Structure 1
Amino acid sequence: MKDQLIKALACEGRVRIYVVNTTGLVNYAQKQQDLWPTASAALGRTLSVASMMGANLKSDQEKITITINGGGPIGTVMADAYYGGNVRGFVGDPHIMLQYNEDHPLANKLAVGIAVGKEGYLEVKKDIGMGKEDFSGRVALQSGEIGEDFAYYFALSEQTPSAVSVGVLVDTDNTIIASGGLLLQMMPDATEDDIRKSEEALRKLDNMSNLIRDNVALEDILHSMFDDIKILETTDVAFVCNCSKEKIINAISLMDASEIQNMIDEDHGAQATCQYCKKEYQISEAELQDILKDKAHVVH
């Protein structure tokens, strides 16, 4: 199964559903960033939700940036989502492997909640582009498990009652067996019967990562939940990084002239690595000199 996202409606349009398979793109992130299992699970869950949120953007001028920091050992989890559902993301410490012990309700599962922590926040920033005012919402983390934290965010910040199911299965060699998510949201005109039907459908639904591991088609997942599913759109999604040498140079130009001079004197150039895709960029001594000249020109 390839990485795909489906937007659908149920209950005569009063319930909106997104479902996504992110196995390939999370595998890409795992390889590029050398993620250990719990780090993969935290980032994979976040990327799945990010992809479903990106599918709701109106144009390619828009972007969503998600920041999660709960004070846990993984540090900050970051994800960008783009129009159509493409994403990129990274975690502060990729080398996290934690499992819940046997007396925990989630016994032997990857301890994402401990890795992320819950003494912190989940923040969503929507960059509208074209000079329009950006949107920002921030909520306290509820568990650090990602799914219920996003459900709380949607209810509180966007006033949209939502259910979020996300999961990542990791193999013994750290590769990703399955990753995906489901986002179900009640529209303003949803009835009590719609809510009851949705709760019942969610109760019967297996974990998303198990369904994807078992090669259950995304359409079949939707049709198993509701009798009147209307599929609106099916889109391929991927891990897409828009880093560039130009952006690195722009970032260096914001540094103090003395710091840039130190790079020239001590290293005769600079090297930068993208946190998302790990691509390396070399900035020559001449290019640093040009940045300094431009800064001097701006000052005078």
Structure 2
Amino acid sequence: MNDYIIRGTAANDQVRFFAAYTKDVVETARQKHNTSPVATAALGRLLTAGAMMGSMCKNDSDVITLQIQCSGPIGGLTVTADSKANVKGYVNNPDVMLPPSKEGKLDVGKALDLGVLTVIKDIGLKEPYSGQTHLVSGEIAEDLTYYFAASEQIPTSVALGVLMNKDNTVRQAGGFIIQMMPYAEEETISKLEKKIAEFKSVTYALEHEHTPEKMMEDLLGDMDMKIYEKVPTQFHCNCSKERVEKAVISVGKKEIQNMIDDGEPIEVNCHFCNTHYHYSVDDLKRMLNEATR
């Protein structure tokens, strides 16, 4: 099954939802960053959320960034997604290793511990919109649920899951975001709250061959659920040697001259996809000429 996101509404448009299958997205990130199991789970959850939140954007040029700064050993995470559900991200410490939680699961909450979640939306305005909330559990889904309620005043249920194989490859990954519209009736809210309370977990559903459609059917099937769109999602970084070269030029003539004087080629690494770009001394001289134009 290829990775994808569905979006739709239920209860006569009182509810909107997004649900995703993201196994390949998370496995690609694991391979690119060589993440430990707990780092894969944390990054995978945030990538899944980012892809769904990116697909919420209205304009092709819109970009959303989810950033977590935390005191736990993972150090922090950053994910960026566009409106076509292309998503990329990295963790500050991909090697973090922790014992399982009391429930025998990967202890993402302990890996993050205390911290702050920042959501930045670049939607073509003069300044990007930025909202920030404290982490409530470090489990990411609960933190995003709290973010939507506190920063955007939207009652929301976020569920995210990543399940690993014994060889540390990704077995399952996905999630959903369900939101109540401002005019949602109390009866609808109560009914949905009860259904969500009975829902076991995203990974349990995926392990039992439940697609995103089936997950939403279980939660919203008796509320006149409608699926409007199914879009592919992928781990995709838009870096290139040319783009990175512009970043090098932006450091200024003095810095480039210092690199030339060192007489050694340089290597620049993209945080998001871990691609290494190499530039020779001749490349640096050409960049210096461009910087002085």
Same fold (TM over 0.5): yes
1:239 match? 235
Alignment of structure 1 residues 176-215 onto 2, 5 Å: 176-215=170-209
Q: Which residue of 1 aligns with 2:160?
A: 166
1:142 aligned residue: 136
Equivalent in the alignment of 2:91: 91
Which moves more between the two structures, 15-24 or 250-259? 250-259
Query: In angstroms, what is the RMSD of aligned CA positions?
Result: 1.5
Q: Read off the aligned partner of 1:87 and give its amino acid letter.
A: V
Secondary structure of residue in 2 paired with 1:145: coil
What per-residue deviation string (whole Å, max 9, x for no partner) do you get for residues 50-99 of structure 1?
11101111122110011101111111200001113221111001112223
Q: Distance in 1 between matches of 2:263 and 2:136?
A: 45
Question: Does the aligned pair in 1 maintain the 2:118–2:130 contact within 8 Å?
Answer: yes
Once the two structures are superposed, residues 266-291 of structure 1 have per-residue CA deviations (whole angstroms, 9 ceiling, x without a partner) of: 25321112222222212222221122
Q: How does 1:111-130 map to 2 (within 5 A)?
A: 111-118=107-114, 120-129=115-124
Residues 21 and 211, structure 2, Cα contact 8 Å, conserved in 1: no
Distance 1:250 1:296 in 2: 13
Shift of residue 258 of structure 1? Answer: 3.5
Equivalent AA in structure 2 for residue 167 of structure 1: G
Name the aligned partner's letter for residue 166 of structure 1.
L
Seq. identity, %: 39
Matched-pair contact (CA < 8 Å) for 1:178–1:210? no
Q: CA deviation at 1:212?
A: 1.6
Distance of 1:163 and 1:100 partners within structure 2 = 25
Instruction: Give the TM-score of the pair, scaled to structure 1.
Output: 0.93
**SS of aligned partner of 2:234:** coil
Deviations 1:153-188 (A, max 9, x none): 101111101111111101121100001111111101
**Count of paired positions:** 291
Aligned equivalents of 1:217, 1:145: Cα separation in 2 = 23
1:206 CA drift (Å):
2.3
Give the distance between the partners of 1:206 and 1:138, measured in 2 at CA. Answer: 29
**Cross-structure match for 1:70:** 70
Match of 2:291 in 1: 295
Deviations 1:73-127 (A, max 9, x none): 111200001113221111001112223444xxxx211111111121x21001111
The residue type equivalent to 1:123 in the other structure is T
Q: What stretches of structure 1 of length at least 5 have no aligned partner?
A: none
Relative to 1, partners in 2 of residues 1:4 and 1:256: Cα closer, same or farther, differing over 3 Å? same
2:241 aligned partner, one-letter code: K
Which position in structure 2 is the counterpart of 1:255? 251
- Asked whether the 8 Å contact 1:19–1:52 carries over to 2, the reply is yes
TM-score by length of 2: 0.95
Q: Is the 8 A contact 1:35 1:174 kept in 2?
A: no
Unpaired stretches in structure 2, ≥5 consecutive residues: none
1:11-90, aligned counterparts within 5 Å? Answer: 11-90=11-90
